[in-house]
Amino acid sequence: MIKRPLKRLAKKALINVYKSTHGDAGAAAAPTYDIPETLGQLQTKWAGALRDIYATPIARPASLSPAQGGLLRSLLINIRPATVVELGCFVGVSTIWIASALEENGEGIVHSIDLFDPVVPNPPFSTTYLEDPYEAALKNIETAGLSHRVELHKSASADMASVIPRLLTGPIDFLLIDADHEIKGCVEDFELYHPLVADGGYIMLHDINPDKCGWDGPRFVIDNHIKNSADFELIELPTSPHNHGIALIRKPAPRAGRLDTGPINKVEPPSAFRGLNRAWGFVRNILNV
Ligand SMILES: C[S@@+](CC[C@H](N)C(=O)[O-])C[C@H]1O[C@@H](n2cnc3c(N)ncnc32)[C@H](O)[C@@H]1O
């Protein structure tokens, strides 16, 4: 009975302290995102939902920018993953970008894991206060018309690592790591989740440029666990507008897996080769090569 008012009081006090020290300057100082034509012109529910979220300071700079989101969506439309896991949902911006691609593909589910703790102003990383990011994410995803492509999990990512395989129908095809950005937490996420990714599957790290984004966890993972490792292929991409950066990592496939086969790309070989391909697949399965 006493706990809730006290909690509310503490939060109110925090907001008041913030307002007295920052006024509206914090929100005004939040970097704005230009909405590219590709998002601005789209008449879909999800595009409208994203435009509305981007219009508020909550998404800046914590969420994927429109340009980064467009890149992610485009990658997923090309890769056609069945199973996506996202660490770090926040209010659902990246989740909506991912789910929009799965919807376009006509298949796939994204499991998004977040603590969903109240967001308190912590400039320059966040300038707004939000009591219940879980409710906000749920509502945003619903407004986007994509609830059927998304499962939200309110949990620490480390705690979900042993639970998530039981909720999936197969290994993870695409993993986005965008949760704890400190070295310890980011390494832990990478170590716990990369074994769950399929051969030939992808891992994306957000915020890889510490001098631009202020976080050093993702860079540490790249430099110490991925670069120079035969287990991973790596490409680092500059991103707009602030070059917080994205890394795309791939677990090489020892042999053709789900992500390397025709059904993923929906490309059928010419009919003369189909029988041969099937026969070869059959022999390969028997010989286990
Ligand atoms: C940068 S935000 C994610 C932004 C989101 N991907 C987007 O583009 O909209 C980071 C999120 O990670 C969550 N987070 C931090 N540490 C976590 C942990 N140990 N387990 C789960 N979520 C965590 C925070 O609650 C926060 O919502």
152-201 pLDDT tens trace: 999 999 999 999 999 999 999 999 999 999 999 999 999 999 999 999 99
pLDDT tens, position by position, 91-123? 999 999 999 999 999 999 999 999 999 998 877
Residue 8: which residues within 8 A CB-CB, separation 6 or more?
Answer: none
The helix (H) or strand (E) run that includes residue 98 is helix 93-105
Residue of 71, 114, 215 to mutate, ligand 1, most atoms within 8 A of C-beta: 114
Look up residue 205 and give its DSSP letter: E
List the residue whose alpha carbon is closest to atom 4 of ligand 1. 63
- The helix (run of H) or strand (run of E) holding residue 71 is helix 66-79
β-bridge mates for residue 150, sequence order: 110
Provide the residue count of the chain: 289
Mutate to test the pocket of ligand 1, among 87, 97, 127, 188 (most ligand atoms within 8 A of CB): 87
- Topology classification of domain 3-265: Rossmann fold (3.40.50)
In the chain (289 residues long), the average pLDDT of successive 10-residue segments reads: 43 49 44 82 96 91 94 97 98 98 98 95 79 97 98 98 96 98 98 97 97 96 96 96 95 71 44 58 61
Domains of the chain: which residue ranges?
3-265
- Half-sphere exposure (CA, 13 Å, Cβ side) for 98? 31
Could you tell me the distance, in angstroms and rounded to a whole number, from the CA of residue 116 to the centre of ligand 1?
A: 8
**Residue pair 175/202 in contact by the 8 Å Cβ criterion:** yes
Which strand ranges, in their side-by-side order, compose the sheet holding 172-177?
A: 150-154, 109-114, 83-87, 172-177, 197-206, 246-250, 233-237
The Å distance, Cα 138 to ligand 1 centre, comes to: 15
To test the ligand 1 pocket, which listed residue (52, 90, 100, 164) has its Cβ within 8 A of the most ligand atoms? 90
Q: What values do phi and psi take at 288, rounded to 5?
A: 55, 45
Amino acid at 89: C
Its pTM surpasses 0.75: yes
Give the binding-site residues of ligand 1, using a 6 Å CB cut-off. Answer: 62-64, 88, 90, 93-94, 113-115, 117, 156-157, 178-180, 185
CA of 169 relative to ligand 1 center, distance in Å: 24
